[in-house]
Amino acid sequence: MKHNGEVLVARHGETESNRAGRYAGWCMESLTRLGREQAVELGYRLKDAGVTRVRTSCIRRAQETAALVGGVLGVPVLPDSRLNELRMGPWEGLTEAEVLERYPGEFRIWHEAPDELRLPDRETLRELAGRVQEVVATSMRSGHRELLMTHVALVRVATLAAYGRPLSEYKQIEVENCCLMPVPVPPTWIVPDRAQEVASVPAQRFATG
């Protein structure tokens, strides 16, 4: 299957946390009614894209979106935990207003220099970029034209890395629910993979602090 040097990456449909401005992280909430409608619409938008499989985050909102898209397209869905959302550590489950109140200094860093934020049990953008590159490489070698169903942080990081932009520009990438991003894949990404073809593990809920 030819990929034209790009991979298709999408964000899941709407959730209640999205409406509330809450950092959902790895929590297992479902899609809203609108989120399910967005997923079905995304499936129809992909009808002529040649997608033969959906590879998805193991987190519920992404899996639900992937199942709806796969149903429209009539293609299988493969879970891959490398597509899971950024681990948010003590911020998980908090709204932006709550984070600002409890972590004012760190919140400022997150908005001004997101690649420099360091918190216990929280994944850095550089760490996230490593697993994004791995899963994209796996997808490109899979023999399928895959849609990667994932989350806002991974869509942003994949886009920045593909275009050679610094992670400091993370906040400049707009990613709406069920947006579709064709991401060019640099040849340097297609290297031997350190992970198995299916790198799925049960998603966990990290402490919200």
- State the catalytic residues: 12, 85
Instruction: Give the HSE-up count for residue 39: Cα atoms under 13 Å, Cβ half-sphere.
Output: 26
Phi-psi region of 133 (alpha: psi -120 to 50; beta: other; left: phi over 0): alpha
Three-state secondary-structure class, residue 192: coil
Size of the chain, expressed as the number of residues it contains: 209
Terminal-residue alpha carbon distance, the chain: 46
**CA atoms of 204 and 87, how far apart (whole Å):** 10
H runs (alpha helix) in the chain: 16-20, 33-45, 60-73, 96-102, 104-112, 125-140, 152-162
